[in-house]
Amino acid sequence: MQLTYDEDQIAFRDEVRAFMADKAQLALGEDARHGMHLTKDEVIAWHKALAERGWIAPKWPVEHGGAGWDPIQVHIFDEEAFAAGMPRLPNFGLNYVGPVVIHFGDDWQKERFLGPILSGDEFWCQGFSEPGAGSDLAAVGTRAQRDGDNYIVSGQKTWTTQAHWADWMFTLVRTDREVKKQEGISFLLIDMKSPGITVRPIMTLDGEHQVNEVFIDDVVVPAKNLVGEENKGWDYAKFLLSNERTGIAGVGQSKSEFARLKMIAKTEKRRGKPLSEDPLFQAKMAELELELKALEITNLRMLIEEKDKGAPGPISSILKIKGSEIQQTLATLTMEAAGTYAAPFIPDALDASWNGEPAGPAFAAAATPYYFYRRKASIYGGSNEIQRNIIAKQLLGL
Amino acid sequence: MQLTYDEDQIAFRDEVRAFMADKAQLALGEDARHGMHLTKDEVIAWHKALAERGWIAPKWPVEHGGAGWDPIQVHIFDEEAFAAGMPRLPNFGLNYVGPVVIHFGDDWQKERFLGPILSGDEFWCQGFSEPGAGSDLAAVGTRAQRDGDNYIVSGQKTWTTQAHWADWMFTLVRTDREVKKQEGISFLLIDMKSPGITVRPIMTLDGEHQVNEVFIDDVVVPAKNLVGEENKGWDYAKFLLSNERTGIAGVGQSKSEFARLKMIAKTEKRRGKPLSEDPLFQAKMAELELELKALEITNLRMLIEEKDKGAPGPISSILKIKGSEIQQTLATLTMEAAGTYAAPFIPDALDASWNGEPAGPAFAAAATPYYFYRRKASIYGGSNEIQRNIIAKQLLGL
Amino acid sequence: MDFTLTEEQVLIRESLSKAFQTDYDFDKRRAVLEDAATFHSPAMWSTIAESGFTGLLAPEDSDGFGGGAAELMVVAEELARHLSLEPFLSSAVMAVRLLDLASDATERTLRMPGLLSGEQPGAVALYEPGERYAMENVATTAVETGEGWRLNGAKAVVIGADAAAWIAVSAKLEGDDVDIFVVETDANGVKRNPYRLVDGRGAADLELKDVVVPLSARLTSGGDAVAILSEVEDWAVLTMAAESLGAMECAKDLTLEYLKTRQQFGQPIGSFQVLQHDMANILSEVEYARSMVYWAAAAMAGDDPITRRHTISGAKAYIDKAARFVAEKTVQMHGGVGVTDEYALSHYVKRLTLTQILFGDRDEHLTRFLETA
Amino acid sequence: MDFTLTEEQVLIRESLSKAFQTDYDFDKRRAVLEDAATFHSPAMWSTIAESGFTGLLAPEDSDGFGGGAAELMVVAEELARHLSLEPFLSSAVMAVRLLDLASDATERTLRMPGLLSGEQPGAVALYEPGERYAMENVATTAVETGEGWRLNGAKAVVIGADAAAWIAVSAKLEGDDVDIFVVETDANGVKRNPYRLVDGRGAADLELKDVVVPLSARLTSGGDAVAILSEVEDWAVLTMAAESLGAMECAKDLTLEYLKTRQQFGQPIGSFQVLQHDMANILSEVEYARSMVYWAAAAMAGDDPITRRHTISGAKAYIDKAARFVAEKTVQMHGGVGVTDEYALSHYVKRLTLTQILFGDRDEHLTRFLETA
């Protein structure tokens, strides 16, 4: 029973911390912490810095340009990056499709796709969800018909995050309709510049454009863009989703947000006293801090298990649930801390370039939009209801 | 929109209140409020006082010795009785089997059974639940075989409250096994002194003996004890259960318990200050008070609907759920108020005749047993899960 | 005891609903929402005024309808159902009640017609920056000059100030009395920073720099301001409570409909027991919230300001909890669809979030409930 | 970083479990529970002592095992699983830690053997009547006399005082210093009012009336009492946390088993989605509670008393919430069976209720967590 990092881990943490200090000018400090939106240039600058250091792909094998870290190292890196206020990078290329190509792609695919992911020259989006399917990911209706050296693809994807930025989309497509729904699915990479691709923005209640509908209308996709075998796409998707679980708890980010909330509570007043002296608000803060502590230690327990056994397993569902609840409570308390100034809703104010007049304290502008944004945390990646189903079936045998 | 009682109702309330004041010597005041157990004599004295006044059977028609009150009057009476600290009377005869006999019984049954219920000379218990059936009341396994002028009954009942006090038990028995489970049930009255009846106590976690198993072993029951028609028992049971819904919210009792908790909070100290000045405890009290207020007004809305339309309807399920949650929270906060003195567990101390040495303040002895006792509130009478099923199916059409 | 609406109240609800149904459907409202210059619909606002709703709470001798809390409850619930962006709360509730409570006959005669016609809407500033919901903390000052009063200070998140012709503000006099002054929004030294609120309605922060108002602009004397503003705030809180109820009802109905039609894993999602129980809890909370709105409405008719405030705060604390539960749960039950702007649910959710924030959040009202016990 | 038990710790758990399995099954324990004279099993207590568990936390130079928080965690979790009624907490945790922290070598040499053999169990009184969990509020007095000290006062709910040969009590001296004194339970003027606690273990209220103890009975000097008793309390809280975890695990297992076997409406009740989700939440809370017990155990090894207390209180606040949730939910999921005394679940529920009450409830520890931040 040893709850602290060992010497090697501490050395690693110090190395990461020094790097973060060195790159401090890239972090957007207060702005990023206050929920302001980053420009693509800002994100790319951080991407390049990590790529240069060889840290852009923490979990990829070293021979493919990855850092080859174990789960604990990945966790330490995340904590330090968030603590230093570094931005979260789009991870559809790095964490999602990259490992799939490494494990199941052919040489041409590795050669073609991995480099631009590492360099940040190509952005990816995930074409899994379809209208009407919700959490039932295997209900794929988008069809791909083989035609010589190509597939002709038609259908529709939805909730496609950053499709409007992306150069490529990895998709699940149906290549066989005669078999069980999981067995007729293939994993296909589609160039977003292909004729027949239309991206329609979906505005969300936080006033943002992050997700999209993607219409795929007789799009010609070279057959060499098929990953692995035809009709085995569901296996690759499951592999991809299991990778998604690591880091799902969001401990690093939540710790950083909690630290920020603590600062806010010292300045915002209720009835003449700072919230840090208000018994009701403080009780909520304390409960949240303890939830976060329970999540952090449990996450470490799972990471060690993952390190020892290779995979996080279904127990990670409990991390997803509490992790998302904590993210939501953090956003809720931040909104509450803003008091009256949680009421104004000025999405433009979140652009660093906005030069209008702010209402209330700096953190307040993003507080309520962020509360709305965080509603998604318990919906995407398999809703918390689905996670409980998984726990009941896979862990409890019910 | 008029949220206060009208003139007639106020006059009625004053009449009840005057009666309560007049009978104040029957209320056991502090003892009863602190959860001490009443003796059978004490209960009977109160029963007789009400019977004498003609108020023992609030909802029975006047021609059968009832008070003939409408639902609002019943509610007013309950509030006043609880506020005056009067004990709750066993209601299996008065509120459960009585109305069934009145509506569905024959003349002999009315003659034989109603009088002793009104006078308090005969106690009843309810033989519905069976082992393994839980909330599925129609899963009746106890069999009654017609044999000339008698039924021969065999089977087992459980969770039978006060079976060890009761003179009679009303039961659901299976008289036809060939039909749908609801259609082969009959409603039979069984003399608890019959040979073949064995009552075995079930001790509960509050240290009490209230419920029992009742073994029925070839018991001979005269056929004239069959209420209504053979195989129609499920209809009578549903009638009985719908009567059970009125008063299910427990508003009067909970208001009286809340008033007591408020008194306790003025004397019990946390960190040198009374709980009535402790921000965390006060926030819990305030939330509870508001829950209770929401329950009270909603209950009144339902009572008026019942008065106008004759039946409370399935919406009363929402009263059952919140009513039981409030009862449980009341018990929980009372336990919390006792602090360290919630730890001693001396069930004997709840007998008024006990002459041991108490530990801590007077209310503390009953606090934790009552917390345990109240666990049942969300289980019996159809668990809260069953209530939500009912709401979903009957009110929401899901 | 009676919980039914009078015939007149039913008529009010129906006529209001009809006006919105025809002139303010989801798409027309969206156009209003996207208008960057005017945060509401002048046409709809005219209709509301012409139908007499702007005078709902004005006394009959001011040509008002003479309605009370029950009528307000009916109207506010309906406005929320139709996601109204019109300045009813600020002008027809807060400004009307303020004029009625605070001003002398002259001022009332002068300003009430503009409120009732909708052409000169008013607004009431309750709070100052950094002071959250503590309206008794007034840093704005009023100094008497030869020509009238000179005001300096700032007010936070003044609902409807974007559209108002005048705004009532509290200010501290020499000797620490706090009184209420009327400020024309086009007066010299008045600066407004208008924005939309979470649900799309307009508001503004207000800065007063050497604003000179005539002597008659002082509506109260002797420091009555806080008592009067408290009563105005209570009316505003009742409005929020009833709006919250209306929005909860709609969110509930949309979700029930969704459960019955949306298919997943080959069956309507309403067949999943967990969602059935969630829906049962939503129904239940909406019913209890309705009871608490009734409780609040009944309290506004009472005479004792402490009891009124106790009840209003208790009701708000309860309803805010219900609103948060219903808003968050209905989004969750809708999944991705629940967070999209193009589906009506998200707009009810935004309104339910706003009603929790305005005029005191749950913690504030729990505290007030305890203080006034 | 490592969350696995050492081989030695595994051995400890297994040998303890074995002793209970053979000598303390549900029926044998019931007999102990019904014994009105002795609230625990002298035979089982002997076995525990003979196996060395009474010395788990005693230093090796006192012939103890020299174990720490991790070992205590393992043992307490196991004791809860077997619903032990033995005075381990009071004597082997509290009295041993107190002697080790407070007393000089003479007193330790005198009393430690009796603790380790189990024949002279000790107990520690932390609180006074009416003062809840505020151990710094001491009304008991100690006045020096020719022959020693004269003690007067009362102590509330002293765990294990029913079985103890001696009890450590705090008392206020002239000059307001608070020190710790050892009182033999058979001394003149000592009155115990023994009773069982919620989970069946023994305790007593204590009255001291002109009790005279020798000079050597004063274990501390200069008012160290509160700091030392706080550390003893922290050990007790850790014990409660680990007991709570053990009881939660068992309640969880019993409920899962019940869901799989119990039939209703023609199917195992574990097929109902609502119960599946409840069970998922229970599993989840037990895992998180386990993490918090680890956190608490690690903190006991640290040097800084403020950090230790901060962590211990934080862990207790979290675990109390989990315990309440698991206790209440598992009863609910069992229905009627869950409230019967003859089924093991209710006994775990009682233990989970007691662990929430003893040594500070959730509100108390939330407050301490904030105070020590």
Per-residue DSSP letter, B114: I
Mean of the per-residue pLDDT values of chain C: 95
pLDDT computed for residue B246 by the predictor: 62
Is the pLDDT score of C137 beyond 60? yes
How distant, in Å, are the alpha carbons of B150, B158, B362, C337 from that of B175?
13, 19, 51, 53
Strand pairing class (D122-124; D166-172): parallel
| Partners of residue D34 in chain B, C-beta under 8 Å | none
Is the pLDDT score of A244 beyond 80? no
Is the pLDDT score of A32 beyond 70? no
Q: Which of C44-53, C191-200, D95-104 has the lowest mean pLDDT?
A: D95-104
| Partners of residue C300 in chain B, C-beta under 8 Å | none
Q: Which residues of chain A have a Cβ shorter than 8 Å from any chain B Cβ?
A: 279-280, 283
Q: Which residues of chain B have a Cβ shorter than 8 Å from any chain A Cβ?
A: 279-280, 283
| Partners of residue D272 in chain C, C-beta under 8 Å | 273
pLDDT computed for residue B245 by the predictor: 64
Q: How far is C280 from chain D (nearest CA, A)?
A: 13
Is the pLDDT score of C97 beyond 80? yes
Please measure the distance between the N-terminal and C-terminal CA atoms of chain B and give it in whole angstroms.
Answer: 32
Q: Select the residue of C198, C331, C339 nearest A343 (Cβ to Cβ).
A: C198
Q: How far is A278 from chain B (nearest CA, A)?
A: 9
Nearest in space to A335 (alpha carbons), one of C245, C248, C362: C362
Run of H or E including D305: helix D305-334
Class of the CATH domain delimited by D225-371: mainly alpha
Any CB–CB contact under 8 A between D260 and chain C? no
Q: How confident is the model at residue A5 (pLDDT cuts 50, 70, 90)?
A: confident
The average pLDDT across D26-42 equals 93
The domain segmentation of chain C, as residue ranges, is: 7-120, 123-217, 225-371
The average pLDDT across D282-311 equals 95
Q: Residue written as tokens 């998922």?
A: D280
Low-confidence ranges of chain B (pLDDT < 50): none
Domains D7-120 and D123-217 share a fold: no
| Cβ separation A290–D292 shorter than 8 A | yes
CATH number (1.50.10.10, 2.40.110.10, 3.20.110.10, 3.50.50.60) of C123-217 reads: 2.40.110.10
* Amino acid residing at C185: T
pLDDT in tens, A125-176: 999 999 877 777 888 999 999 999 999 999 999 999 999 989 999 999 999 9
Q: Select the residue of D271, D276, D288 nearest A298 (Cβ to Cβ).
A: D288
ipTM: 0.95
pLDDT in tens, C176-188: 899 999 999 999 9
Q: How many CB pairs under 8 A join A and B?
A: 6
Higher pLDDT, B310 or D129: D129
Q: How confident is the model at residue A324 (pLDDT cuts 50, 70, 90)?
A: very high
Percent of chain A with pLDDT over 90: 68
Please measure the distance between the N-terminal and C-terminal CA atoms of chain D and give it in whole angstroms.
Answer: 24
Is the pLDDT score of A100 beyond 60? yes
Q: How far is A72 from chain C (nearest CA, A)?
A: 32
Tokens of D29: 């324990």
Structural domains of chain B in order of their starting residue, each with its CATH number? 7-89 (no CATH), 124-231 (2.40.110.10), 249-395 (1.20.140.10)
* Cβ–Cβ under 8 Å, residues A134 and C339: no
Mean of the per-residue pLDDT values of chain D: 95
Percent of chain A with pLDDT over 70: 96
Q: Select the residue of D134, D274, D358 nearest B271 (Cβ to Cβ).
A: D134
pLDDT computed for residue B236 by the predictor: 96
Residues 6+ apart with CB under 8 A from C318: B290, B291, B293, B294, C288, C289, C292
Q: What are phi and psi of C295, to 5 degrees?
A: -60, -45
Fold topology of D7-120: Butyryl-Coa Dehydrogenase, subunit A; domain 1 (1.10.540)
> Model pTM?
0.95
Q: Which of C259, C273, C277, C333 to mutate to test the interface with D (most CBs of D within 10 A)?
A: C273
Any CB–CB contact under 8 A between D272 and chain C? yes
Q: How confident is the model at residue A30 (pLDDT cuts 50, 70, 90)?
A: low
Residues 6+ apart with CB under 8 A from D164: D87, D90, D91, D95, D121, D122, D123, D158, D185
DSSP per position, C105-161: HHHHHHHHHHHHHSSS-EEE--B-TT-TT-TT----EEEE-SSEEEEEEEEEEEETT
Run of H or E including D154: strand D149-159
| Partners of residue A290 in chain D, C-beta under 8 Å | 292, 314, 317-318, 369
| Partners of residue B280 in chain A, C-beta under 8 Å | 279, 283
Tokens of A15: 């190395």
Q: How confident is the model at residue D259 (pLDDT cuts 50, 70, 90)?
A: very high
The average pLDDT across C27-40 equals 92
Distance separating alpha carbons of residues A345 and A332, to the nearest angstrom? 15
Any idea what the Cα angle at residue B200 is, between residues B195 and B206, rounded to 5°?
Answer: 150
How distant, in Å, are the alpha carbons of A92, D96, D98, D164, D181 from that of D111?
66, 9, 11, 12, 13
pLDDT in tens, A113-125: 999 999 989 999 9
The residue from B244, B289, B291, B325 that is catalytic is B244
pLDDT in tens, C287-318: 999 999 999 999 998 889 999 999 999 999 99
Distance separating alpha carbons of residues B262 and A37, to the nearest angstrom? 50
Percent of chain D with pLDDT over 90: 90
Q: Select the residue of B4, B298, B396 nearest C291 (Cβ to Cβ).
A: B298
Mean of the per-residue pLDDT values of chain B: 90
pLDDT computed for residue C222 by the predictor: 82
pLDDT computed for residue D120 by the predictor: 97
pLDDT computed for residue C146 by the predictor: 86
